Structure formats: C-alpha cells, structure tokens
A and B are shown apart, each in its own frame.
Chain A
C-alpha cells in the first residue's frame, strides 16, 4: 500500500473536489462573519425608518424644547430632554460609584495582590456582571431604597439615586476588568524602573502604570458609560416612570430605556405616534452609545499607535 500519490494536474477531479470543498467552507464562514454587519445595518435601518415618520409630524423645535414628555396624553408634548435628563442623571450617579471603585479594584488586583488573591477575587468580581439586571432592579427597589430612606427620609420610593447606585455596582466589573488587563499589559521594565528609583507601589501605580495603561483604562470607562446609558431593567423597576426635566436624584425619573419598556408593556398599534416614540427614544439612545463607543475605539487606536 503506497502512501505517496503522484502530483495531480489542476484539472484532476480529486483536486477540483478538494479545492471546491475548501472554498465552499471559506465562503460559508465569510457569510457567517459578514452576517454580523447585517445585524448592525438591521438595527440602524429599523430604528431610523420607524422613527422618521415621527419627525414629519413633530417639529424638531418641539422635540428639543418642549418642557414635558407626554406623547400618550390628550395634548401631547414631545420634549425629549426630559428623558435625556433622566438618563444622564442615573448614568452620572452610576459612574460616581463605578469609576472610582472600578479603578481602585483594578489597581489593587493588578499591582498589589498576589496571584492567588487575584485568582480568588477576579471571578467573584465578574459574577457582579453576571447577575441578571432584573434581579438588580428588585434589589434596588426593595433593598437599597428602604435602607436609603432611613438615611434620607425625603427619598421617594421610586428614585434615581438607588437605581444609579445599583447600576454603578453592576458595572464595576466592566470598568475594572478591562482596566486591569491593560495595566497588566504594561511592560515589567517600566514597573521595575520606577520601583528601582525608590518609588512606592502607590506612586508606581498612579504615576507610571495608570498613565501607561491610559488607553485601556479610558476605554474601560467608556464601556462603563455606554453600559449605564443603555441599562434598562434597573431603572425601569427602581427609578419610576415619571419623565421630568430635573436632576434631583431623590425623585423618581424616567430614562430613555425605561420609557421604551413602559410603552412596550401596553398594546400599541404599529405605526401610531406612540409606537414611533419608542423608536425615537431608541434612536437617541443608539446615537449616544454609538458615539461613546466610537470615542472609546479611537482613544484606543491612537494610544496603540503611540505605544507600539
């Protein structure tokens, strides 16, 4: 039984079949990978096309400057700023929690603790991101709010504060994990260079490692921001349904996402103005998050070029 075969010509059936099979698989995989682009186009196209008729009916001036957001009322008003302010308010509260805690956790895990301690804490920290958001909503409404009400009696039972705080805890792992990765990628010689000059770990961490890992840390922050902007269930459950142009964290408020949930829970006929408004909110939200994502990617791209 001979193992070797003689060389075949390009016309031979065996070789044609093999090439056909290989290129067929190649094509199949390409189609799969390309399909993700279709998903993006699908999302953008659907949101834009379903939202457009809204702008034919409602002047941009009203959309931007109406003082209230009451699209389903008798005399509807369409001031999107009411929803945007609620979104920004909860996002900012979340970031006030997540950015400092996430950064400290990242520095601690990357620079201070031993491998075993890291192996122990890291998966536990990542579990925070694995808990379903609806569970966090329950937690914010029925655990955090009652506790906070003992400290701040004027806190409403639906409020931006506890929703924001819980959201912040939820996104700690998003901030810390990416930050830590980029800190650990900082070459050892930089670390040793600083320590060899007599600097403390703290000085090394914040004056050498953090600046060197800045791009990764910044994109971790950006990821955290877009998570907070798009978070839905926590705010829908715990922050209330009252759209208002206010930055008071003690009151109830409504975000872009919570509005979509509220309207979707009811039965809205396709094509009605109410139906359009959820696409308008979705589109505004998408614009916000996409621009943050793009900012994050460009920061990273620029830094990668610089450090190569």
Chain B
C-alpha cells in the first residue's frame, strides 16, 4: 500500500472556535478512506482542508501539514497556490450542484479553466469521464441539454464525472448521497467502489453502513479529534477505543 497523502498535526479554528485539534491520518493510494463521526466533529472541515476551500472565506486559521506524495509537498503551505491544489484535488458536494449549463459544458469547465482548448480532446474526456461515472448511456444523446433537467442521482453522477474529467490525484466526497433517494444512493456507492481503481478517494459520510460497505479505511472523529483510524473491517467489528464502539453501536451521535 502506497501513501497518497498524509495529514500531520492539523489544527483548525474559526474565529474563536477550535474545530480540529492536532489531527493526523494517512490516505492510501487507490483506496477509499471514510471520515465518520457525529455532526460537528470536524469531518467536513477536515475534508475541505484538502482542497483549501477554507481559503475562500476569511476568519479561519489553520496550521499543520497535509503532505502530498510522491513529492511529500505540504499543500497547506502558503507557498502553494490554492488554485493549483484544487486543480489536483477534485471535490463532490453534499447537494448535487451542476452549473445551470449543458451537460457538456459542465464537464468541459474544469478542462477549460486549465487552458485546454482542443475540442477533440475535450470530447474524448467528456465521454471517458461520463463512462467512468456510469452516466454515458443515459445522456449520450443529450449532451447539450441542460444539466439541471437531470434527476438528483444523475446530477450527482454528473458532478462526479465533472471532477473526474480533470484527472484529480484525490477525489473528495462530502456526504455525496445525503440528498439522494435510496436507489440513487446505491448507484453512487457502487460507482465509488469501482472508481477507486482510478483515483484515491476521501469520503465524509453520516451513514455508517455506507462507510462499512464501501471504505477500505475508516477514521472516527469526535469533537475535533481523531479518535481512531484503521481498516474498516477492524473499526466496525473490533474497535480499539471505547468512544468508537459507543458511536458505531449507536449509543450516541
């Protein structure tokens, strides 16, 4: 197993509220890592550190490292441009958020901001990423119709395709199924498990079963601290920490 990234002693606070307290964990290449924990434990905040989303808003402070392998470069460093970080690390959000443009333009956008102009290349990428996202069959004959006309599940797969088109090193999923119905959820879960051959995935989820079913590794967070990290099989069957056990057995959260 090869490390793709490593979080080391990450602290994070909004104006006066500490949200992450010295969090560390490894992210393995071509594996799915799930972040679980009760609401407000900081898992989404942690996820959004990976692509420096927090830099968009004022009044946050963070220190620590997220090193990206193989170069072991700290992507939280001020030396590194957050825009370049986002070019390497894709993200899919809780609520499907396609642009109100055509399906084609949605996926092409990531390539366009990277300066890709060649149409044949873009066409190829669009087909490729839609296929990876399992959406190609459904939309191949209506690529130029509006993306907002798709169903919720289709929209979310489009958002995954949009992120994949730019060939990210890591794909961040922020509760990607929380706004979807059970059938679309099953679809996305299946898709995510297939995708790990192509990309490293970090996923925040509220749904413990989802984490158990899809993730290779799971880390349990509580009140801004990393309580336990391990293979999912171990976390869900034989947790080392009492808090983890309480959480996964439904005693709180």
Contact A1 B73 (CB under 8 A): no
Contact A4 B79 (CB under 8 A): no
Contact A3 B114 (CB under 8 A): yes
A15 to B80, CA, bound (A): 10
Contact B81 A15 (CB under 8 A): yes
B78 nearest in chain A by CB position: A10
Contact B79 A10 (CB under 8 A): yes
A15 nearest in chain B by CB position: B81
B124 nearest in chain A by CB position: A1
A8 to B75, CA, bound (A): 11
With A3-B116, A3-B167 known as contacts, the answer to whether A8 contacts B81 (CB < 8 A) is yes
B77 nearest in chain A by CB position: A7
A residues near B169, Cβ cutoff 8 Å: 4
Interface size on A, as a range, is 10 to 19
The verdict on B251 contacting chain A, using a C-beta distance below 8 Å, is no
A3 to B75, CA, bound (A): 19
User: Which of B40-48, B83-91, B179-187 lies at the binding interface?
Assistant: B83-91
A167 to B134, CA, bound (A): 64
B residues near A7, Cβ cutoff 8 Å: 73, 75, 80-81, 84-85, 88
Convert B62-97 into 0s and 1s, putting 1 for each residue whose CB lies closer than 8 angstroms to a CB of A.
000000000001010001110111011000000000
B165 nearest in chain A by CB position: A3
With A10-B79, A15-B81 known as contacts, the answer to whether A5 contacts B87 (CB < 8 A) is yes
The verdict on B121 contacting chain A, using a C-beta distance below 8 Å, is yes
Interface size on B, as a range, is 10 to 19
Residue from A4, A9, A10, A18 in contact with B83 in the complex, judged by beta carbons closer than 8 Å: A18
B168 nearest in chain A by CB position: A4
A1 to B73, CA, bound (A): 24
A18 to B87, CA, bound (A): 15
A5 to B85, CA, bound (A): 10
Residue from B83, B84, B118 in contact with A1 in the complex, judged by beta carbons closer than 8 Å: B118
Contact B73 A3 (CB under 8 A): no
Convert A1-24 into 0s and 1s, putting 1 for each residue whose CB lies closer than 8 angstroms to a CB of B.
101110111100001001000000
B residues near A18, Cβ cutoff 8 Å: 81, 83
Highest count of chain B CB atoms <10 Å: which of A1, A7, A9? A7
B68 nearest in chain A by CB position: A7
Contact B81 A4 (CB under 8 A): no
A4 to B89, CA, bound (A): 10
Residues of chain B from 84 to 129 with CB closer than 8 A to chain A in the complex: 84-85, 87-88, 111, 114, 116, 118, 121
Contact A1 B79 (CB under 8 A): no
B residues near A9, Cβ cutoff 8 Å: 79
With A9-B79, A10-B79 known as contacts, the answer to whether A3 contacts B84 (CB < 8 A) is no
A2 to chain B, nearest CB (A): 8
With A15-B81, A18-B83 known as contacts, the answer to whether A3 contacts B166 (CB < 8 A) is yes
A15 to B83, CA, bound (A): 10
A10 to chain B, nearest CB (A): 6
A residues near B114, Cβ cutoff 8 Å: 3, 5
A235 to chain B, nearest CB (A): 48
A3 to chain B, nearest CB (A): 5
Contact A8 B118 (CB under 8 A): no
Contact B121 A8 (CB under 8 A): no
A11 nearest in chain B by CB position: B79
B114 nearest in chain A by CB position: A3
Convert A266-305 into 0s and 1s, putting 1 for each residue whose CB lies closer than 8 angstroms to a CB of B.
0000000000000000000000000000000000000000
Contact B73 A4 (CB under 8 A): no
A15 to B85, CA, bound (A): 13
Highest count of chain B CB atoms <10 Å: which of A1, A3, A5, A10? A3
A1 to B115, CA, bound (A): 12
Convert A92-126 into 0s and 1s, putting 1 for each residue whose CB lies closer than 8 angstroms to a CB of B.
00000000000000000000000000000000000
A15 to B167, CA, bound (A): 21
Contact A4 B121 (CB under 8 A): no
B111 nearest in chain A by CB position: A3
A289 to B121, CA, bound (A): 62
A18 to B113, CA, bound (A): 12
B191 to chain A, nearest CB (A): 21
B residues near A1, Cβ cutoff 8 Å: 116, 118, 121
Contact A4 B118 (CB under 8 A): no
A residues near B79, Cβ cutoff 8 Å: 9-10
A residues near B116, Cβ cutoff 8 Å: 1, 3
Residues of chain B from 146 to 176 with CB closer than 8 A to chain A in the complex: 166-167, 169
List 18 additional contacts besides A3-B114, A7-B80; criterion CB under 8 Å: A1-B116, A1-B118, A1-B121, A3-B111, A3-B166, A5-B84, A5-B114, A7-B81, A7-B84, A7-B85, A7-B88, A8-B81, A8-B84, A9-B79, A10-B81, A15-B81, A18-B81, A18-B83
- A selection of 5 A-B contacts at a CB cut-off of 8 Å is A1-B116, A3-B114, A7-B85, A8-B84, A15-B84
Chain A interfacial positions (CB closer than 8 Å to B):
1, 3-5, 7-10, 15, 18
